[in-house]
Chain A
């Protein structure tokens, strides 16, 4: 390999990208030098992933230029970028669990001798490649599915290096790692640095950003806020750069103290594969906001309460009686409703009518209890009450707007008279008008005595709607904040920039 040029390895100038008229990136500049670790931080939805996809050839930018190794490049696809020397390690590994390490590393460019795959050579080269990044204990003929997550990550990195990557993008590389494995990754990153490889390091976790990076670029709402030398900044400053938006929208009034009822749902040391030692009380009449980053266990919490992937440890009591919520069906019978995050995938049956979608839950769970006609009439009333506009009850739901679809999903759950409602990103992808209608509905439900748990990545929404906010991090409760907390406080808890309050 020749000496790295003194110029930056990668230079992005004025990168812009829109999806369906929504601007997700706007005039972003960024550069990475050989052997530099450049961290990119920002809230959920700040545009980090989109930017990484543009660098790695997944998306083409609408505007701006990508300069790599001294030449302006337009990548036609991920393969094109790979061949040019840009590798990306996704959170989800791109590996075949049934194949060996060597077969994965050289997939698509297997070494051949006399027209046949040179298996011996492939193993040798993989072993040498692994040794060059300090991994000597990993056999090249082990099946990838039998390896731990950290080792699979090493295989991913080796796979990128086998293609002579000079720039590596790491997207939340520690998200799936245990604490002691993070140390191994640190060592790996430093060895890559020594080889002159540039690294773009995307992470929510400020601690490791400070440990590893030379410079940090902060993105917010698709724009670059600032790029700073890591040595010259503090966690507090970073958090302030990441948030600091005006709280402008209108939210319905919060619950008055006398509206707060008794504890309805009580979790004591509850946990499962994704959650540990969760202690949480949900009261009738309140909206409890759940904050945290993606993958922090917010959705896992809702899914555990609703019995999708139930708690395996700890105690759950409902109205002071111990319960075991082992399936969605038992949860629904116990009066729990769950409006999922992934509306298209888990919320609606796209080709069924509005009415059928609204009747789905009551038909499935309480088929024998009430008469068909009465049930249908009630659901029609509910559909009218949630004010679905511009659609008949018999229209296929997929033709409705996101906001109206969400209202149908709400009507479905209201038909069960739930006492506990779990909302996971209730207003994601919904226009402003429908958003405030849903906010009003959520608040009205709480006022009528329901206990509401609302997960939201939209900080103004979380702060504006919640009577209390519980922030999750790494599968446990990082802290609780009262109404009137600031965005900084939520983000600081979510990224671990402050010490956890002693509970």
Chain B
């Protein structure tokens, strides 16, 4: 049959890894010509640190976007989480576990709120999560002018700076979270249902999927990922920082990483592996430009061009598939 011969055996490597390899090769050459070295210990480590923070958020963001939703509140959840973590620990190593637990509970609560607004109250995800984010912003702006609390030294040591070779522990945490998310998407009913809800809510509903429950779960997981990112940042900074999430542009950058990683913004197609590729790509560009000491504004321009180019490439590919 004619349609069968068109079938590839397996899905190919996401295009983002091709782009990543290209970027690193070109970056390495350019930095070399400039008289520097891209892959020395300190740049590699800092690249992976940047990737770890953004990656934790982006993996969570992937889940909600796959389900056809979106989370704009992650940046504020991160800021809040750094404060909850640092203030609960208050410099005491004994309070690390309770602090982590509390952060996860608080962030899960925010995710639950997001999820319920999107499903029960049918508020558009963009508006609902933006509103929740502003709510958190109000609380943070009102209560904090600057850093507060102290992260326990043991956590700073372990999560903030500990390395295995050139790989920071935080990046290993990202790998673990990514693996868990990948496993959930491919091997659990929740994962299958989430992708179905994002692909076509009506088809999912008619097939017996409880759309609302699936989407709320995704939002809770997304916020918890942002909470983890907050814990990591608190251990990096040594204290809680009320504006670290927004200053790091974690909301928009996480969405950008997801999209660069090949997940459809409308949901239903993509995965966390691609997202990690997108995160690494953004972090690499950062590292290369830092090495070249490129003007910060120009750096932003380049990032913008890359994001647009990535989406355009995917759109073209989708169009060709449809034709």
Task: Give 1 or 0 for each of A136-179: 1 = CB within 8 Å of chain B CB.
Answer: 01110011011110010000000100000000000000000000
Closest A residue to B210 by beta carbon equals A108
Closest A residue to B189 by beta carbon equals A110
The reply to whether A146 and B6 form a contact with Cβ atoms under 8 Å apart is: yes
Give the segment of B193-201, B253-261, B290-298 that binds chain A.
B193-201
- Pick the contact of B192 from A95, A117, A142, A146 — CB < 8 Å? A117
Known A-B contacts A79-B206, A116-B187; A98 and B269 likewise in contact (beta carbons under 8 Å)? yes
Size band of the B side of the interface? 20 to 34
Query: Whole-angstrom distance between the alpha carbons of A103 and B191 in the complex?
Result: 11
Closest B residue to A79 by beta carbon equals B208
The reply to whether A78 and B3 form a contact with Cβ atoms under 8 Å apart is: no
Closest A residue to B183 by beta carbon equals A116
**How many contacts A-B (CB < 8 Å)?**
76
The reply to whether B187 and A99 form a contact with Cβ atoms under 8 Å apart is: no
- Pick the contact of A98 from B3, B4, B195, B206 — CB < 8 Å? B195
Query: Whole-angstrom distance between the alpha carbons of A103 and B209 in the complex?
Result: 13
Query: Whole-angstrom distance between the alpha carbons of A117 and B186 in the complex?
Result: 8
The reply to whether B268 and A148 form a contact with Cβ atoms under 8 Å apart is: no
Q: How many residues of A contact B (CB 8 A)?
A: 30
The reply to whether A94 and B202 form a contact with Cβ atoms under 8 Å apart is: yes
Query: Whole-angstrom distance between the alpha carbons of A98 and B196 in the complex?
Result: 9
Task: Give 1 or 0 for each of B251-280: 1 = CB within 8 Å of chain A CB.
Answer: 000000000000000001100000000000
The reply to whether A94 and B207 form a contact with Cβ atoms under 8 Å apart is: yes
The reply to whether A142 and B268 form a contact with Cβ atoms under 8 Å apart is: no
The reply to whether A95 and B203 form a contact with Cβ atoms under 8 Å apart is: yes
Minimal beta-carbon separation of B275 from chain A (angstroms): 16
The reply to whether B192 and A94 form a contact with Cβ atoms under 8 Å apart is: no
Query: Whole-angstrom distance between the alpha carbons of A14 and B164 in the complex?
Result: 76
Known A-B contacts A79-B206, A94-B202, A94-B206; A108 and B4 likewise in contact (beta carbons under 8 Å)? no
- Pick the contact of A112 from B2, B189, B206, B209 — CB < 8 Å? B189
Closest A residue to B203 by beta carbon equals A94
The reply to whether A148 and B204 form a contact with Cβ atoms under 8 Å apart is: no
- Residue among A96, A97, A148 facing the most chain B CB atoms (10 A cut-off): A96
B202 contacts across to A, CB distance below 8 A: 94
Which B positions have Cβ atoms within 8 angstroms of A? 1-4, 6-7, 11, 186-189, 191-193, 195-196, 199-200, 202-209, 268-269, 321
Which A positions have Cβ atoms within 8 angstroms of B? 78-79, 82, 94-99, 103, 107-110, 112, 115-117, 119, 137-139, 142-143, 145-148, 151, 159
A116-B188, A119-B187 known; 8 other A-B pairs, CB under 8 Å?
A79-B205, A79-B206, A94-B203, A97-B199, A99-B195, A137-B1, A138-B4, A151-B3
21 pairs from A and B in contact (CB 8 Å cutoff): A78-B206, A79-B206, A79-B208, A82-B206, A82-B208, A96-B200, A99-B195, A99-B199, A107-B193, A107-B196, A107-B204, A107-B208, A108-B209, A115-B188, A116-B187, A117-B188, A137-B1, A139-B7, A142-B7, A143-B7, A146-B7
* 8 nearest A-B residue pairs (beta carbon): A108-B208, A108-B207, A148-B3, A96-B199, A107-B207, A98-B269, A94-B203, A116-B187
